[in-house]
Amino acid sequence: MLEIRNLHASVEGNEILKGINLTVKAGEVHAIMGPNGSGKSTLAQVLAGHDAYEITAGSVRFLDQDLLELPAEERARLGLFLAFQYPVEIPGISNAYFLQAALNEIRKSHNLPELDAMDFRELLNDKMELVAIDPRFAERPVNEGFSGGEKKRNEILQLAVLEPRLAILDETDSGLDIDALRIVSDGVNKLRSPERATILVTHYNRLLNYIVPDVIHVLVNGAIVRSGGKELALELEEKGYDFIREELVAP
Amino acid sequence: MTEMLDTAQPNKAHYLSAVDTLRRGSYPAWLAQVRQAGAARFSETEFPTRRHEDWRFTNVAPIITTPFRPLTGPEDWNVSVSDLESVLFGTAGWTELVFINGYYSAALSRIGSLPKGVVAGSLADAISSGNKLAEHHLSVRRESGNVFNALNTALLQDGAFVHLHAGAVLMFPIHLVHVTTGLNEPVAANPRNLVVLGRDAQADIIESYVNIGAGAYFSNAVTDVALESGARVHWHTLVNESEEGYRLGSTRVNQDRNSAFRSFAITLGGKIVRNELTTVLDGEGAEATLNGLYLTGGEQLVDNAVAIEHAKPHCTSWIGYKGVLDNASSAVYSGKIKVRRNAQKTDSRQLNRNLLLSDRATVNTKPLLEIFADDVKCTHGATVGQHPKEVIFYFRSRGMNEAMARAMLTYGFADEVINQIDIEPLRRRLDRAVCERYSPI
Ligand SMILES: Nc1ncnc2c1ncn2[C@@H]1O[C@H](COP(=O)(O)OP(=O)(O)OP(=O)(O)O)[C@@H](O)[C@H]1O
Ligand SMILES: [Mg+2]
């Protein structure tokens, strides 16, 4: 589904991604861990198509297309979804209005009929119930004045409505209470299907107890330095990232 | 070159000769005096140039140099109800008073369901029938406004007169529809409105300023509003003049104790538009909430000059004006808050936010505080900006392209003001106008 080869990206002349290689197959869940500032969010933003980053080398294929050739909105229409580490606030535009517009843009690109306000509202109500969000949030401006956890939940609501093929969750678990964490995990587990995949960026094993990933990757200084199963997360928790850094400098 | 234009004081003769024409008619002595005072002030006050601080960014030279014909009485302008279809949007129960070039048209107006103790009609009728309240309010105020206000007073003839007796509560809005139309000849209309709310009265008032037909015209309106103690009004001024229309309008409010004035000044069209709104919080516990929205394009100039005077303690005021500017248009905002020495415990906030859709558009914004009391809470601010990149990326990451993101954001920015209007037919109408203008989906 997703194949990243030797991806290099820089911002304002500073190289941040230094040769990422990562293959995610349909049906899989991958976790990416790594110290602060190692480039996890940069990778996520580059995949979503943020134009602040310059791609200096490498390639990314997504669903048999050259992802890096596509503008951000076409990546989203193709089925790529990024749950932002820091979702932005959009004053003046209600959650419902925003999501209806988004869903219809995506549907249009697949030659599906647009949903009218009534049909959309029905769908939205179902999804809000699914992710346990107060129905009143439908009328509130997107993320405006939401608490940190509410913003994360709202990202999950969007995920549930847009039903992407590949979901990248950038620290969606940070700041979530126990109930919300379970809801997010349930949501991701429900999306687990042979034609979907998920990349979880996280700092915490806690999440990985709910969503058991197929592979865990460790990103340090712009490159994936280790990949492994669940035991890698336990090892990291025990020893911190230093042991990997030490291994790296060791001959 | 501009300096020469600025210093020229064009002839006021055509206006003063209209004043003379009126003088020959038969009017009550008090009205003759009021007009005379207006005329005197008009003659002695210079037209503003850009060297006048209050008019620095608003060049009124085109208004002064065009020989608009001032009107001295109603004429046959040939306006029918069907011409007004798009401006009369009231539903059952509404009172809609229509004024053509400042003169009341009974034929085009309709009186809806009004409770006892409410008068709504023509100021000329109130004057000729010897209404004491109209006389009192028009004579008590010494004309102290700008030169255009003085001109309006010098030519004071007709406009709306609305009076709610103490305790009267309107169930339906009163809509004052001011149409300027010149039959292809540039006319100057000087509508004069007087709205008085007695103790604890409540009303929703809308004043619309629109045009029928083609050509340049000058609408120079003055509206005086008096709120007695405990009176509450929701006031809406809609300016939708034509591409060739000039409008200078002043709404001057006086508020007694515990009264509340909540207003929306919405400007959608006009070549040069200046909306002045002043309120004096002249009794403890009075409240003013002044909202504004201006949407400009082409080479339009829209100026909102807002002033609040806190004359008594324990009053609150909030000013929130927003503008969306496109093409080579420009907007001017000034918000003066004056807190008198004894006006302790004043709570006043103001914010002017501008969204620039084009790099040729310009904004001059100037929130001003003049505080003579020491125990007050006052904040003010102004912003001029564009849609943040990160927000646009968020839209794109959800499948919407940049053009759509911008359209939706612009709509959202403007709609934040519209959404606070609680008269549904009006809110829906404006919402649609904003939506169509920036066409999101
Ligand atoms: N737009 C930018 N301008 C300048 N530096 C940037 C920019 N974006 C990212 N960086 C830098 O790139 C590095 C990687 O940042 P990134 O946000 O990808 O880290 P992260 O792994 O997600 O960290 P965290 O765990 O704290 O979220 C950091 O040093 C950051 O300061
Ligand atoms: Mg990050």
Domain positions in chain B: 13-282, 388-441
Query: How far is the centre of ligand 2, averaged over its atoms, from the C-alpha of A186 (Å)?
Result: 23
The SS3 of residue B152 is helix
| Confidence grade of residue A183 (pLDDT, cut at 50, 70, 90) | confident
| Confidence grade of residue B5 (pLDDT, cut at 50, 70, 90) | very low
Q: What is the rounded distance in angstroms from the CA atom of residue B16 to the CA atom of residue B186?
A: 17
Complex prediction ipTM: 0.95
Which of A61, A55, A71 has its CA nearest to residue A4?
A61
Cα B348 to Cα B293, B362, B380, B383: the distances in Å are 20, 27, 8, 18
Residues of A with CB under 8 A from a CB of B: 48-52, 71-73, 75-77, 81-82, 84, 87-88, 90-93, 97-99, 101-106, 109, 141, 158, 162
pLDDT of residue A237: 79
Higher pLDDT, B4 or B368: B368
pLDDT at B39 over 50: yes
Q: Which of A18-32, A231-245, B69-83 has the lowest mean pLDDT?
A: A231-245
pLDDT of residue A180: 85
Give the DSSP H or E segment for A197.
strand A197-201
Q: What is the mean pLDDT of residues B85-104?
A: 95
Domain boundaries, chain A: 2-249
Spell out which residues line ligand 1, taking CB within 6 angstroms.
Answer: A 11-12, 16, 34, 36-42, 52, 85
Q: What is the mean pLDDT of residues A132-151?
A: 92
Q: What is the mean pLDDT of residues A193-216?
A: 90
Q: What percent of chain B has pLDDT over 70?
A: 97
Q: What percent of chain B has pLDDT over 90?
A: 90
Q: What is the mean pLDDT of residues B132-142?
A: 91
pLDDT of residue B8: 40
* Rounded to 5°, angle at Cα B332 from B352 and B376: 40
User: Which residues on neighbouring strands pair with residue A34, listed in sequence order?
Assistant: none
Of ligand 1's listed atoms, the one at least distance from the Cα of A171 is: 27
pLDDT of residue A249: 62
Buried residues in B168-181 as b, exposed as e (16+ CB within 10 A): bebebbbbbbbbbb
Distance between B432 CA and the closest CA of chain A, angstroms: 15
Q: Which of A230-244, B185-199, B244-258 has the lowest mean pLDDT?
A: A230-244
| Confidence grade of residue B4 (pLDDT, cut at 50, 70, 90) | very low
Contact (CB, 8 A) for A102 and B400: yes
Kindly give, in sequence order, each residue whose CB lies less than 8 Å from that of residue A51, ignoring residues fewer than 6 positions away.
A72, B393
What architecture does CATH give domain A2-249? 3-Layer(aba) Sandwich (3.40)
Instruction: Please write the tens of the pLDDT for every residue from B371-417.
Output: 999 999 999 999 999 999 999 999 999 999 999 999 999 999 999 99
Which of B325, B247, B317 has its CA nearest to residue B278?
B317
Residue of A11, A14, A16, A171 to test ligand 1 pocket, by largest number of atoms within 8 Å of CB: A16
Instruction: Please write the tens of the pLDDT for every residue from B302-345.
Output: 999 999 999 999 999 999 999 999 999 999 999 999 999 999 99
Contact (CB, 8 A) for A62 and A75: yes
pLDDT of residue B3: 34
Across the interface, of A72, A81, A162, the residue whose CB is closest to B396 is: A72
pLDDT of residue A38: 94
Residue of A7, A36, A42 to test ligand 1 pocket, by largest number of atoms within 8 Å of CB: A42
Instruction: Please write the tens of the pLDDT for every residue from B346-378.
Output: 999 999 999 999 999 999 999 999 999 999 999
Residues of B in contact with A91 (CB under 8 A): 412-413, 416
Instruction: Please write the tens of the pLDDT for every residue from B287-309.
Output: 999 999 999 999 999 999 999 99
B397, B434, B438, best to mutate vs chain A, most A CBs in 10 Å: B397
